[in-house]
Chains A and B, each alone.
Chain A
Amino acid sequence: MALLTAGGYAVRGGNILLPRVGVWAADLELDASIDIKGSISIEIAEGPTLVGTVVAGTMAYGYLCTRIVAGQAGLGKETAPKHYGGGTVRTVLTDLVATAGETLSPTIDPALLSRPLAGWTTLRMPVGEALAALVGTGMPAGTAWRFLPDGTLWIGAETWPDSTLSEWRELDRMPREGRLELGLNSPALLPATVLGDDRIDYVEHRIGREGARATAWLA
């Protein structure tokens, strides 16, 4: 069985970038002879399914090189400028998410969405920038946001669950840089989890002939 498939096609190689704060993305080479567009699922062996959108694709050497971005890949869209005299985080966030065509995760703490805002001004900017401003100034310090594997947008406080990986090899550790090189059975390690004693902040999975390798930056 392939380490991962995307849209039902085996993945020959590529990278998956998973930030703790931000938007995950993948550059994958698929065993596909046709161009693929729109929504796509990346099925990871012994791992989660990533739901995203193909934003670019090129045929090369008999396979398809794709760039896949989390959710609907909508955070680059421009906001509609709007001034709010008051309201809650939910009021502003709902408008931003609607503009981006994204979906909020049902796992967001309702208390966070109910936080009152004294007012708010959304300027014309990419939705991602406006979202970062909302999280940075309208929510408690340390609040994170990211796209979950299921393609929904999550906002909240980290809980640092265990990664649940049962097997991995630590190939190198660079304490000064806060970085690990890992050998994995599949690219199943996610950010905002704990691997051994380490909190994982950002993961770059590399899939190639040697299998799955990852660079993990520590929180």
Chain B
Amino acid sequence: MAGMTSAAADAMKKALFAIVRSSRPTVDYFAYYSAKVVVQSADRSTVDVVPEDSRLPSAMAQVPLDLGIPGATVAIPAGAMVMVGWRNGDPQRAYAFLFQKGAEVFTISITAAKIELGGEGLVPLFEQVLIGKTPCQFTGSPHSVTGVLSKRVFAKET
């Protein structure tokens, strides 16, 4: 903008910014917004929320709750904070996710063929604690009791 007065340059910039602003949505379906959970459905799959941002509806009912972990569900109390967004920016596909740090959780449930806690590729009998161990009656060294052994949940002993 060489040769222009500062006022003229400012006016031109303002006009340019106005054009750019007008081409952008005032509120965005690709953004995420904070909301408070009012109630959760009995099957844990949806929540009714109250968004904080006044540009959103004052209440959104039965919003699908996507934790981002397949097979996982949570039971949460009213008042938990979540984020609300729209999958692929589609206004038909609202969802809630991402609980705020420190949120209270009643129950976390995970349904999976195998659940490993504390490590990956845990080996039955050697690396899991969900089996019993007892001293050998002859040598005194510990050995595993395999009568009731979880084949689904594996957890590192230490």
A interface with B by C-beta (< 8 Å):
81-83, 85, 117-126, 129, 133-134, 137-138
Contacts and interface: CB of A to CB of B under 8 A. Distances in A.
Contacts of B56: 81, 121, 123-124
Contacts of A129: 25-26
Given A123-B55, A124-B54, A137 B91 contact: yes
Given A82-B57, A83-B59, A85-B62, A124 B91 contact: no
Contacts, number: 58
B27 A124 contact: yes
A109 B101 CA distance: 49
A118 B93 contact: yes
B43 interface: no
Nearest to B59: A83
Interface residues of B, number: 21
Given A82-B57, A129-B25, 18 more contacts: A81-B56, A81-B57, A81-B58, A83-B57, A83-B61, A83-B63, A118-B92, A119-B92, A120-B92, A121-B86, A121-B94, A122-B91, A123-B56, A123-B57, A124-B27, A124-B54, A125-B27, A129-B26
The DSSP consensus for interface residues of chain A is mixed
A122 B57 contact: yes
A198 to B, nearest CB: 28
Contact of B60 (A121, A125, A138): A121
Nearest to B26: A125
The DSSP consensus for interface residues of chain B is loop
Interface in B30-84: 54-63
Contact of B26 (A121, A124, A137, A138): A124
Contacts of B55: 81, 123-125
30 contacts: A81-B54, A81-B55, A81-B57, A83-B59, A83-B60, A83-B61, A83-B63, A85-B61, A85-B62, A117-B92, A118-B92, A118-B93, A119-B92, A119-B93, A119-B94, A120-B92, A121-B57, A121-B60, A121-B86, A121-B91, A121-B94, A123-B57, A123-B91, A124-B54, A124-B55, A125-B26, A133-B29, A137-B89, A137-B92, A138-B92
